[in-house]
Amino acid sequence: THGMDYRRLRLYGQEKNLTTSSIARMNIILHGLDDFTIVRGDTLRRPAFFEGDSLATFDCVIANPPFSLKKWGEEVWENDPYRRNFTGMPPASYGDYAWVQHMIASMAKPHGRMAIVLPQGALFRKGAEGKIRTKLLEMDLLEAVIGLGPNLFYGTTLAACICIFRQQKDEQHMGKVLFIDASGLFKKGKNQNELLTDHVDQIYSWYTAFDTKTGISRVTSMDDIREQDYNLNISLYVEPVIEEDTTTVAEALAELKKAAPECEAAEARLKQLLSEEGLL
């Protein structure tokens, strides 16, 4: 890609669900891309794209896989012929790091990059996932973690995140991870919240700036992440801004004292009504 004419792009995709793969094809055609291959199939059990005996690699890899997928194909990964278990075996009940490792194995060298949407639990769960996360971090592939707002995706009300990886980071980004808290950027909806274009532009601006902004983002060193035992929970690194007009303890006590007589009067009135009805 690297700024090239979009008409020279070649797009490849794999999707297990028939309806979703059909919608993907229609979407690509409507956007004017002609050179594409969409394969229906199970990406983790039977990947579709190869270069010789190895997985094909791509300049840009993106995915919004099912969150915390169970029975994702662990039975074929212990001896995976494509060496996608290079940092360890994900647990059978959580397939998130199977997707991550598959996508990293699919990144071209030296300039490949990827973005994946994950449940935020993948940032801090321990056990096998913690060990995988540790190895990935020590490989210095993770560039950014972007926390999103709640209820943005079908099938879950939980807040998700976007993790961005690069085969080779820019020199000034090496040994660092950018954390962004974009959890407040969404339009409230009746059944589902929405991420608007302005929100996307703002997140992209914070990402490309790659700097620390109070209450929004923080560039964190690997030493700091090691001190947190490789826990990537965004709240450990980006502290929320405390508004200056926050009520002080003294003010809160004064308000409580003021409200006490009103509470007593309301309680007395309630007792009177209950007594009149013979309920007390």
Percentage of residues of the chain with pLDDT beyond 70: 94
Assess whether pLDDT exceeds 70 at residue 213. yes
The domain ranges of the chain are 42-236, 247-280
Report the range of poorest mean pLDDT among 72-86, 196-210, 256-270. Answer: 256-270
Place of tokens 């919004």: 64
- Please name the residues in contact with 57: beta carbons below 8 A apart, sequence gap of 6 or more: 51, 105, 106, 107, 108, 109, 112
pLDDT at residue 244, as a whole number: 64
Q: For the CA atoms of 14, 17, 20, 24, what is the dihedral angle to 10 degrees?
A: 20
Assess whether pLDDT exceeds 70 at residue 77. yes
pLDDT at residue 262, as a whole number: 82
Query: Which pTM was predicted?
Result: 0.83
Q: 42-236 has which fold?
A: Rossmann fold (3.40.50)
pLDDT at residue 175, as a whole number: 97
What value does the mean pLDDT of the chain take?
91
Percentage of residues of the chain with pLDDT beyond 90: 74
